[in-house]
Structure 1
Amino acid sequence: MTTARYAALLLPSANRVYAAASTDLLAAELEILASAAGAEIVDPRVERIADVAYVTFTVDDLDDRTVAYLANASALYALFRFEAGALHPVPAPRLDRLDDDLVTIQKYAGKTNEQFTRLLLNVTVAASGAAGQMLDRPLRVLDPVCGRGSTLNQALLYGYHAAGIDVDTADVEAYATFVRTYLPRKRLKHTVAFGPVRRDRKVVARRLEATIGLTREAFKAGDVRELDVVAADTRRCGEFFRRGSFDVVVGDLPYGVQHGSRSAGGDLQRGPLDLLRTAVPAWTAMLRPGGTIGLSWNTHVAAREEAAGVLADHGLEVLDDGAWTRLRHRVDQSIDRDVLVARRAPRPRA
């Protein structure tokens, strides 16, 4: 194949601090997505062309499928190929199956940047055994600390099935209100229910369940996407979701304020390491063989080596070299965010 050089123009970001980090993040994300498509990006770097920042890279001439992977990079606005000293646009349609206001319309304090939410899901899927099917089938995504649903909405935007669990009932209720408002307003054919989960005549959780048709025709034919969200301790996810049924587990851990489980004494856990030590076994059990866990957290409250050690201690293979180590970035003065992706062993061949 012919080697060619490309330039990726960055999507504008309203967040000034994240925009400053997005060039380096895009370079790493493009490497990871290209690898998932079976390609290898060489010499990714930030260049200014006509005083505009681009991420440029060299690769064996891109086929349509590899472009379809790269098109989903979180900060990619447009893709160009260098030809005869000029930039020629490369069509790069995204995977999105629904309108992008699904991920942008919600506004609330503490909401994760939409570009980062997309990046976290992208790199987790790209490392999984389902990476080769990222564009082809509705993957199953679990967010074990789902809050008000940012990751769930990004999964639905891709046409994936989305499930979540969070200890904060108020957040789940707020998300249920959003879903029950958004789906009718967008005239998406759907079913939705939100109510208590009872066992032995006791309420043990609250649950939001929805089925969504990407089109009217698809809904009528029974081709729907499932949304399933539970207000409960994340360590109890095995009570509500089928073990071994998810391609990826993706979570943006809260930054040292509160987390998704309580200690044996009932106190809310505040350190991500405490949460990981108690919850990773339950999360791992949710994964299919070859599935991946992708987590982000504040390194000011837990070092990368410690977090990686917890995942490795539970039998997961931590991806800890190359582009996987270049996803750390500053959020604000008190938050320095990093990403860890770890893989469950694939099923042994017969």
Structure 2
Amino acid sequence: MPAYLLLLEPSPNRVYREVAPTLVAEEARRLLSVVTGATVEVEPTQRAGAHYLGVELTEPLDAVGFQALSSLSGVYAIFTAEGELLRPVAAERVDRYPSDLLTIQKYQGKTNEQLTRTLLNLTAAVSAHPQRLLDGTLTVLDPMCGRGTTLNLALTYGLNVTGIDLDKRDFEEYERFLKTWLRQHRYKHTADSGSLRTSGRHRGRRFDVTVAPTKEEFKQGDVQRITYLNTDTTDLDGLLKPRQFDVLVTDSPYGVQHGSHGDRIARNPLELLEDALPGWVPLLRRGGALGMAYNRHVASPDQLGELLEGHGLAVVGDPADETFRHRVDASIDRDLIFATRPD
């Protein structure tokens, strides 16, 4: 009998709702196994006509392990089975801010927030320090952050995060949204924006936020920091210190007009990554990890794997594995790839 039964939250996106159980099952196997050291079995099951994911472990979950279980993407409720009855178990999520930080923004081309959580969880899982995802010390970079789904998720987890994007409209929309959200929720914070310059050269704009869930934590310096650089992700020299991020997570260009602007669709995605990776890789710490969503229609797994390894990263697993492959629409055949920085 499974130790836990997970009821998944229905995604508003019908296509994603159909593939979510498969994605969450593999997410659970990978994240829980590295956090707990146990062997993890996850299987779909039914009770009274409702669909669940049954989770069985060779070792009981400790507090950290249960936090990891609670933080899986799409988990709506957790139960233990007692014969034919289910007993609800209160989740212990690491989230420090309300979920509407992730869900309230609606715009064409927005990355599904459940997929973003899967990507962040799995990237942390292949890094040298997966526990930092749960204790608030993981540092996150999204070098093509758009309107900030990754930034908002990292903030929700209580993590420090930096985003980069060249699109001026996305930058301005994110700045407007976050300032409004923080003000409406009455969080103690500072928010500063201004020109981004190095050695007298104008490089774009920057937006910096410091915030805490409570006034007491803010006064004590127990804060989260968000930095958004509105600049060219292929030209980062002098803007960020090397080896300061544990994970790099991003939605790579899909090569189609899909709610994005400017450089993210105007260039061949592989060419963009070829130009960007020399600036990205040095920003990862030793043992840091990269996790990327990409479109198989414009980049094959082998091409992307060779590109990452050519820039000093070690691809995790077989790039051609189809565990995370799923259709978004007729033009986007989405998959995930992971790599680590071994040096």
TM-score normalised to structure 1 length: 0.90
The one-letter amino acid of 1:223's match is D
Q: How does 1:25-104 map to 2 (within 5 A)?
A: 25-60=23-58, 61-104=60-103
Deviation at 1:321, TM superposition (A): 5.0
Q: Per the alignment, in what secondary structure is the counterpart of residue 288 of structure 1?
A: strand
Alignment pair present for 1:122 and 2:121: yes
Q: How does 1:125-136 map to 2 (within 5 A)?
A: 125-136=124-135
Structure 1 50/319 Cα, relative in aligned 2: closer, same or farther at 3 Å? same
1:55-89: per-residue Cα shift (whole Å, max 9, x none)?
A: 12321232332111111111211222233343333
Q: Per the alignment, in what secondary structure is the counterpart of residue 303 of structure 2?
A: helix
Alignment pair present for 1:285 and 2:282: yes
Deviation at 1:179, TM superposition (A): 1.7
Counterpart position of 2:323: 326
Counterpart position of 2:165: 166
1:299-346: per-residue Cα shift (whole Å, max 9, x none)?
A: 111111211111112221211259x75111111222111111111116
1:176-198: per-residue Cα shift (whole Å, max 9, x none)?
A: 11122111111111111112123
CA distance in 2, matches of 1:204, 1:294: 26
The one-letter amino acid of 2:42's match is P
The one-letter amino acid of 1:58's match is E
CA distance in 1, matches of 2:41, 2:223: 41
CA distance in 2, matches of 1:208, 1:27: 37
Counterpart position of 2:303: 306
CA distance in 2, matches of 1:169, 1:251: 18
Q: Say if 2:166 and 2:232, in contact at 8 Å, map to a contact too.
A: yes
Deviation at 1:42, TM superposition (A): 4.2
Pairs aligned (count)? 340
Deviation at 1:272, TM superposition (A): 2.1
Q: Per the alignment, in what secondary structure is the counterpart of residue 135 of structure 1?
A: helix
Q: Say if 1:165 and 1:237, in contact at 8 Å, map to a contact too.
A: no
Q: How does 1:79-228 map to 2 (within 5 A)?
A: 79-199=78-198, 201-228=200-227
The one-letter amino acid of 1:317's match is A
1:215-238: per-residue Cα shift (whole Å, max 9, x none)?
A: 101111222211111111112234
The one-letter amino acid of 2:29's match is E
**Which range is displaced more, 216-225 or 139-148?**
216-225
CA distance in 1, matches of 2:138, 2:262: 26
Gaps of 5+ in 2: none
Q: Say if 2:33 and 2:40, in contact at 8 Å, map to a contact too.
A: no
1:253-298: per-residue Cα shift (whole Å, max 9, x none)?
A: 2321378996xxxx97532211222212211111111110110011
Counterpart position of 2:341: 344
1:2-34: per-residue Cα shift (whole Å, max 9, x none)?
A: x95432111111111100000101110101111
CA distance in 2, matches of 1:21, 1:43: 18
The one-letter amino acid of 1:9's match is L
Structure 1 335/268 Cα, relative in aligned 2: closer, same or farther at 3 Å? closer
CA distance in 2, matches of 1:63, 1:84: 24
CA distance in 2, matches of 1:308, 1:325: 14
Q: Say if 1:257 and 1:270, in contact at 8 Å, map to a contact too.
A: no
The one-letter amino acid of 1:87's match is L
Counterpart position of 1:9: 7
Q: Per the alignment, in what secondary structure is the counterpart of residue 136 of structure 2?
A: coil
The one-letter amino acid of 2:317's match is D
Q: CA RMSD in A?
A: 2.3
Deviation at 1:239, TM superposition (A): 2.5
CA distance in 2, matches of 1:80, 1:86: 10
CA distance in 2, matches of 1:300, 1:48: 35
TM-score normalised to structure 2 length: 0.92
Provide runs of 4+ in structure 1 moved above 4 Å: 199-202, 258-262
User: Identity of counterpart residues, as a percentage?
Assistant: 42
Structure 1 42/32 Cα, relative in aligned 2: closer, same or farther at 3 Å? closer
